[in-house]
Amino acid sequence: MIPISEASAIALHSAVYISIKEFASLKDIAERFDVSPNHLSKVLQALVKVGYLTSSKGPAGGFKIAEGKENASFLDIYETIEGKNWQRSCLFHSKCGKYCSSCIMGDLVNDINRKFKNYMESHTIKDHYLLDDDFKINKTDDKKSKQKK
């Protein structure tokens, strides 16, 4: 089955959020997704380490998508957190041996893995740039609020 940890969920949602906002502080992201700033920091640093994000420190610090990484697939981000060996076709951790052909789950697990992988490979941070309505981020309003300050 597919392990989707909180860290993976944070990484995927944060990457899309940062793409939409173009730049976001740790505090902003933590508040938006109601997650621990410490956990968020560790997840985002993992994405910085492999080059999907860049970060800047200080009072005006934050994160942005690294140049040329807008086309990173959801699978790229997911595998940064979970590793590349996430697919598992056997509920017994491949110890069922000769009984795999008579598994009561049939091809369900493989079908789920395949569907998940296809979805994750076919969606990129760039593709989801238009999700700002779903994230309720209006870039125009955001810019206006900054001008008023």
| pLDDT tens by residue, 75-112 | 999 999 999 877 776 776 666 655 566 778 778 888 88
What per-residue confidence (pLDDT) applies to 147? 44
| Domains assigned to the chain | 6-135 (1.10.10.10)
Q: What is the predicted pLDDT for the residue at 135?
A: 59
pTM for the complete prediction? 0.79
Contact indicator for 48, 63 with CB cutoff of 8 Å: yes
129-to-27, 106, 134, 137 alpha-carbon distances in Å: 21, 37, 11, 11
Q: Three-class SS of residue 69?
A: coil
Residue that wins the pLDDT comparison between 131 and 62: 62
84 burial via Cβ count (<10 Å: 0-12, 13-18, 19+): exposed
